[in-house]
Structure 1
Amino acid sequence: MASSSALQFTVRRNPAVLVPPAAPTPRELKRLSDIDDQEGLRFQLPLIHFFRRHDGQDDDPALVIRGAIAAALVHYYPFAGRLRELEGRKLAVDCTGEGVLFVEADSDVRLDQFDAALGPPFPCLDELLFDVPGSSGILDSPLLLFQVTRLACGGFVMAVRIQHTMADGAGIVQLLGAIAELARGAPEPTVWPVWARQLLRAPPLDDDVLLPPRFAHREYDEVMDMNGAIVPFDFMVHRSFFIGRREISAIRSHLPPALRRGATNFEPVYAGPAKGGVGAIPGVASFFIAVRNDMGEEGIAVPVCMPGPTMDKFVEEMGKLTHPTLADTFQTLRSAI
């Protein structure tokens, strides 16, 4: 039984199963980069996605997604392996092809009953992303855990847990994008993965080649234990920012005149699809939820998590972007003339 404020619902889960790649994959040992070795990345990262029911779509989402995961693992086969620790705590993925964990579930709740609870921190995550016993370690554990929960309204929830050493935000988006394409019937992903982590590994030191350290890599220093976590979650603040038509228009007004007319609604906020640059909300591209606010306006809710003082400054800067002053509005109109 899970509860979200006054909301209570039941989730019935099938036993977890391993989903291997749909075809044979290479058996090899792939070392991670020196950046991936740092202690601050050795944790499991949860993600949760909510989907409405689409008319005319009666396929079982759990069955479709499970098949798409197996197909995607043929191309992303390191994710079907297990992490090992080599000399000097060096991380490497053993491409065993064992597979990733998959949980199929059903719930008696409807999507519209969650209401504002769709924004983080999500109080029912443990029910919609079950911590399979023995799966939460970093070494010798599945690198991905999926749970697909069918809802009473015909929608579903797909929750994912991934080891952060294996992928950053952009990598996770690329992997999930490939799974989505294959679930929609594509024969293969549009973007193929590339493993080039050797480019971020320092050359070995031996008698013939001595490379003196040129930088102090503070990211490898010992870190203070914050209640068993690297990130001090007790000091973190979660907020969701609503961005609708008025906010988009306000953000668009900050763009140069040459870009203002041609920019899509997506680009003023996120600075374009994965092409670099800084949008109004840097670092959170692709992580948003389609919602309606209290006045019924359609838009997106962008979840953000950061330390309290940083959040206060972020709120202040967001206010400047989305609620321009009269002087800003006058300058915008003057530039358009």
Structure 2
Amino acid sequence: MYENEQADADVTLEEFGDALQPPFPCFDELLFDVPGSSDILDTPLLLIQLTRLNCGGFILAVRMNHAICDAQGLVQFLNAVGELARGASVPSILPVWRRELLEAMIPPQVSYTHHEYDDVPDTRGTILPFSDLSHRSFFIPSSEIADLRPSLPLHLRGCTACLWRCRTIALDPDPEEEMRMLCIVNCRNKLNPPLPKGYYGNAIVFPAAITTAGKLSTNPLAYALDLIKKAKACTTEEYVKSVLDLLVARGRPHFTVVRSFIVSDLAKVRPGDIDFGWGKPIYSGPAIGGIGAIPGTLSFYVPYKNGKGEEGMVVPMCLPAAAMDRFECELNAALGGDKKNDPADKYEYVISRL
């Protein structure tokens, strides 16, 4: 079930501004919000709106129901649409349903401790408020991501730990409160045999790196990186099966959102390679940041080239206004520069092309 809309806009792409990155202006006009479509059941699985621009370009906005697929599955679908639009008779990767491949055991046997599904009461009111939220995007050049690494052990990579640490300092929680970094791990190749190539359903697990706010804020960056590395290292086939059993045994609980943070790396699924026949998009990624059950819990790495031609990542963030200013200061200090940039509710993508 899906909804398909098209529209014309009396604007050009240039009028959206120099930096095409979240949060996109007028997004409520770029994707019609079908009544009831924010629910999980009895709702469209997919919303698509094509908006033609005066300059000859177009914006394709998509909202998918996360119950049907993950980010890799959505990009697989959009790539298939692009191939058909370019004249292919069938997609190069055929879709595979096969949900029985991820069934739990009977009876379920939870063999690991899964802190990503801990029942954590929000006793201190630290869930991010729905009001007074600020949305910004931060462009981090690839060269500066690399600059984080010389002082760290070679086996520790990426800036996820940097974002986690900066965000925690910005939110200023009680030093004894537990903070979680939920690490998104694609489990398609964790199973034996691996899931079929065209499997588009949710095939991700969220192993948790966990520590106190005080330790995360005061220890060197390598401390957080090592926690994340150890969390990811536990995602064996047995771990994945234990997650499946836990979901059934506990009635499919949501992962813990209280004092949790997630960063989804879209560079791995390559949304920027989608081509509907006019070439690759100028921007392909989330329209806004901080989406999910609780605003501010989820962010992304979006491959991006800025106006200067620098390659890097755009990271959309959603935080309370005061915390956002502190986050920017902490990120600037961590990267050693001035990274001011421009970011929240559903899994929405915008693809635009001249």
Name the larger-Rg structure.
1
Instruction: Name the TM tier (shorter chain).
Output: 0.3 to 0.5
Normalising by structure 2, we get a TM-score of: 0.43
- When normalised by structure 1's length, the TM-score is 0.45
Q: RCO (CA 8 Å, sep 6+): is it higher in 1 or 2?
A: 2
